[in-house]
Amino acid sequence: MTMTATSQNTHHDWLGLAGKVCVVNGAASGIGAAIATALAERGAHVALLDRNAQGCETLQQALSHLPGRRFSVSCDIADEHQVKAAANAVFREFGACEALVNAAGILRSVNLADIELADWNTLLSVNLNGYLLCAREFGRQMRHAGAGSIVHISSIAAHHPQPYSGAYTPSKAAVSALSQQLAVEWGPHGVRSNCVAPGMIRTALTAAYYDHPGITEAREGFTATRRIGTPEDIANAVLFLLSERASYITGSEVAVNGGLSCMLMGKIPRPGFSASAD
């Protein structure tokens, strides 16, 4: 079957994101950069927020050939004044925000018995407080318009604690709860709030893990799909939730982990219940 130009364009913009004002924090690298790129590929106007200003500017240049417009803003989302300034700057550049992605995050490798309170507070200030601050400032614009969508990047760790990660698991569990609270309070104002919970995703932050012999194969064996995820896998889920195709989805969490979360029982020895794959 031959597709007409009109049907091709409709198919390309199936999510209806072209021309929408979208804000992505943590956009300079990793999952945030993949989400920003995917939005730009679909013609959205994308504001790139990160405390790594150079990283945002580099990505902005890399996306310059794509439709829509990009705007780079240096912003530490843990700083309330910087978030307010960023929201005002985006409004002046693009108009009201229609979609927000909270993707920034940090990790500290330390157990709870040893973590310094300052490190605990630093992690929560980004992973949780920063999400609230961005939701409040950009969400104010959405509520005024009577429509909008927010997606928060949580983690499989929110429900399956990982050892020696200190405040990371509590922070991500709190993000899931924050998302639901926002859905309840802002749903009557036309604003949806959802989470995407990644599993094992290979980014620059985790790339060093896979330099160790056998680690890639061992990790792949813990997923139903037998592969490690990519930032693009997360971006695909986020874009759907941001779109009007997901207009009746709010307060939900989408696990994007290749089936990692359903593999537990298969790793427990049960004599007589083993079977080779066919």
- 71 within 8 A of 49, measured Cβ to Cβ: no
Collapse the DSSP code of 152 into the 3-class scheme (helix H, G, I; strand E, B; otherwise coil) and give the result.
strand
The domain spanning residue 235 has which CATH number?
3.40.50.720
* Per-residue pLDDT at 273: 76
* Per-residue pLDDT at 9: 46
* Per-residue pLDDT at 271: 85
Domain contains 12: no
Domain contains 273: no
Q: Is the overall model pTM greater than 0.85, yes or no?
A: yes
Of 168, 209, 210, 248, which is the active-site residue?
168
- 133 within 8 A of 182, measured Cβ to Cβ: no
- Tokens found for residue 52: 């790594």
Domain coverage including residue 222: 17-267
Domain contains 272: no
* Per-residue pLDDT at 1: 40
Domain contains 276: no
Q: How far is CA 2 from CA 5, 7, 9, 44, 114, in A?
A: 10, 10, 13, 27, 64
Domain contains 218: yes
Domain contains 1: no
Cα separation of 109 and 208, whole Å?
Answer: 14
Is-catalytic flag, 168?
Answer: yes
* Per-residue pLDDT at 274: 67
Domain contains 193: yes
* Per-residue pLDDT at 11: 54
Domain contains 275: no
Question: What's the total number of domains in the chain?
Answer: 1
User: Which pLDDT tens digits describe the chain residue by residue (278 residues)?
Assistant: 444 444 444 456 789 999 999 999 999 999 999 999 999 999 999 999 999 999 999 999 999 999 999 999 999 999 999 999 999 999 999 999 999 999 999 988 889 999 999 999 999 999 999 999 999 999 999 999 999 999 999 999 999 998 888 899 999 999 999 999 999 999 999 999 999 999 999 998 788 888 899 999 999 999 999 999 999 999 999 999 999 999 999 999 999 999 999 998 888 887 877 665 44
